[in-house]
């Protein structure tokens, strides 16, 4: 008998997520597997900002991905012991299938000597967001200036390093001195703590030639100010808007259409799962950069499945450096 645990959403979030919005419940997963199904035990679970804003149904399991191993299988593509990435929510164990949605059950990216958790971070969804969002969509050129906020996070830290690999000048913003020190050690050209230096003062100093590519993880007032520094024909990737996720009174992104018009900017919307069938194109190059030390990553690991809500909450107070994961 497989005794599994899952976190369900007890109450829709109001403002910042609270522990009382979640409930930990047990479930029995010892039923027979249908054709195509596998039973997976999660080793690491992901907490991500999107979980705050995606529509969720009260009483259902919290959404999310995890990496783990196959315990039982009725699917020819997956053997017992295989390492997989699943999208089954906050569960210690799950019965999943790749038949309807390939995002629900996949083999892990090649990880070399990297820890399993890297399949949720630098070699998983956030890493692929950085790679495809920056390299494929924004196409940074040598000598251009790239601005990234949320720069010490799972996506932002990879964006800045990829921009350096592409020969750009990189300006990063993060929320603590420790995070800024890490970004300097990764050779970011200019790093600012946005809690101490306002965007205008920082960009007057760091972007005298303007910004060519703006990879926006934060939105809100930051973006209103940053847009003034864009060069004509600059490119903006609207990746996320974490500064606005829990403030229902605000728009998630500003209304800067006059600036976009005057500067003839190109603004891209982007969702990483739309390019799921292309992630394999990025894996060899990303793994090589990691093995060569050109790309580095950090993870903030919370111990214990029972601490999923705290790990999630901590995203919104800057508690994580690099990818936030929970060890089940």
Pick from 156, 160, 172, 256: which binds ligand NDP (CB under 6 A)? 156
Q: Does residue 240 belong to the site contacting ligand NDP (CB under 6 A)? A: yes
Q: Rounded to the nearest whole angstrom, what is the least distance from the CB of residue 18 to ligand NDP in the complex?
A: 16
What would the two tokens of residue 143 be? 């000598």
Q: Does residue 126 belong to the site contacting ligand NDP (CB under 6 A)? A: yes
In the bound state with ligand NDP, the residue whose beta carbon lies nearer, of 80 and 271, is 271
Q: Which stretch binds ligand NDP (CB under 6 A): 1-9, 101-109, 196-204, 311-319?
A: 311-319
Q: Which residues contact 210 (CB under 8 A, 6 or more apart)?
A: 145, 229, 230, 231, 234
Q: Does residue 282 belong to the site contacting ligand NDP (CB under 6 A)? A: no
Q: Does residue 153 belong to the site contacting ligand NDP (CB under 6 A)? A: yes
Long-range pairs for 127-130: beta carbons < 8 A, 24 or more residues apart: 127/154, 127/158, 127/282, 127/286, 127/297, 128/272, 128/275, 128/279, 128/282, 129/155, 129/239, 129/270, 129/272, 130/155, 130/156, 130/158, 130/159, 130/162
Report how far residue 50's alpha carbon sits from residue 153's, in angstroms, rounded to the nearest whole number. 13
Cα–Cα distances in angstroms (integers) from residue 39 to residues 2, 221, 232, 325, 327, in the given order? 10, 45, 52, 21, 18
Q: Does residue 155 belong to the site contacting ligand NDP (CB under 6 A)? A: yes
Q: Rounded to the nearest whole angstrom, what is the least distance from the CB of residue 111 to ligand NDP in the complex?
A: 19
In the bound state with ligand NDP, the residue whose beta carbon lies nearer, of 70 and 152, is 152
Q: Rounded to the nearest whole angstrom, what is the least distance from the CB of residue 306 to ligand NDP in the complex?
A: 21
Q: 154, 94, 184, 93: which is closest to 301 by C-alpha?
A: 154
# chain residues binding ligand NDP, by CB under 6 A: 30
Q: Does residue 129 belong to the site contacting ligand NDP (CB under 6 A)? A: yes
Q: Does residue 176 belong to the site contacting ligand NDP (CB under 6 A)? A: yes
What would the two tokens of residue 149 be? 């906020």
Residues forming the site for ligand NDP (CB under 6 A): 48-50, 126, 129, 150, 152-156, 174-176, 179, 217-218, 239-243, 270-272, 315-316, 318, 320, 324
């Amino acid at each position: 008998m497989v005794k599994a645990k899952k976190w369900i959403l007890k109450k829709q979030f109001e403002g910042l997520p609270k522990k009382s919005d979640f409930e930990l419940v047990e479930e029995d997963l010892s039923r027979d597997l249908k054709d195509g199904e596998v039973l997976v035990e999660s080793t690491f679970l992901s907490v991500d900002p999107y979980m705050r804003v995606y529509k969720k149904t009260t009483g259902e399991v919290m959404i999310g991905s995890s990496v783990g191993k196959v315990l039982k299988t009725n699917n020819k593509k997956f053997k017992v012991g295989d390492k997989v990435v699943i999208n089954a929510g906050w569960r210690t164990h799950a019965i999943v299938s790749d038949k309807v949605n390939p995002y629900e059950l996949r083999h892990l990216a090649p990880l070399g000597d990297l820890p399993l958790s890297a399949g949720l971070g630098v070699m998983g969804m956030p890493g692929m967001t950085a790679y495809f969002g920056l390299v494929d969509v924004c196409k940074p050129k040598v000598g251009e200036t790239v601005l990234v906020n949320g720069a010490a996070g799972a996506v932002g830290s990879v964006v800045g390093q990829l921009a350096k690999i592409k020969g750009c000048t990189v300006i990063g913003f993060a929320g603590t001195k420790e995070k800024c020190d890490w970004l300097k050690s990764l050779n970011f050209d200019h790093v600012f703590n946005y809690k101490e230096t306002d965007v205008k003062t920082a960009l007057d100093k760091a972007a005298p030639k303007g910004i060519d590519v703006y990879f926006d993880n934060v939105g809100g007032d930051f973006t209103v100010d940053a847009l003034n520094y864009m060069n004509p024909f600059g490119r903006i990737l609207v990746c996320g808007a974490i500064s606005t996720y829990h403030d229902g009174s605000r728009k998630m992104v500003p209304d800067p259409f006059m600036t976009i018009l005057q500067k003839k900017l190109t603004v891209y919307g982007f969702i990483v799962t739309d390019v799921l069938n292309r992630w394999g194109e990025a894996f060899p190059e990303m793994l090589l950069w990691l093995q060569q030390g050109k790309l580095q990553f950090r993870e903030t690991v919370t111990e214990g499945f029972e601490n999923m809500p705290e790990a999630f909450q901590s995203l919104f107070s800057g508690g994580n450096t690099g990818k936030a994961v929970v060890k089940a």
